Amino acid sequence: MLKSFLILFITLITVNQTKAADYAYFGFEPEIITNYVAVKKKMGYVRLTVELMIEDSSNFEAVEHHSPLLRDAIINIIGQQPEAKIKSINGRHEIQKLCEEQVKSLLTKETGQPLIKKLLFTQWLDN
């Protein structure tokens, strides 16, 4: 009985031990600086740092290879946003989600997989 219990216990531990997450982070260099149309047709700008959380570190080179395409998509999304969204916390979260969805979509078209788990804005300065 004790032997069966130990075997079951060891089996459960082995099954429950999953491979540790193998994440990597890709940061766009240099920082992204882009304009948006502010109220009264003035131009405002946003300076931000973007990090991509890559699900498997072996995909780092593929993400790096496609980084110009991804950077362009992020800049286009931000440039189309109204000033109110740029300057609000909730608006920034919406923009971050739009950028993440677009990056995943582009990577899926290019590589067959989204490759990233999350897109993060680690710094955001607007004027």
Task: Dump pLDDT digits (tens) for 34-86.
Answer: 998 777 767 889 999 999 999 999 999 999 999 999 999 999 999 999 999 99
Least confident of 4-13, 15-24, 46-55, 91-100: 4-13
Reply yes or no on whether the pLDDT at 107 is more than 60: yes
Which three-class secondary structure state does DSSP give residue 63? helix
Backbone phi, psi, residue 80, to 5°: -95, 0
| Number of other residues whose CB lies within 10 A of the CB of residue 104 | 19
Nearest Cα to Cα of residue 55 among 101, 117, 100: 117
pLDDT in the model for residue 43: 84
Q: State the CATH architecture for 23-126.
A: 2-Layer Sandwich (3.30)
Reply yes or no on whether the pLDDT at 14 is more than 50: no
CA distance 49 to 42: 23
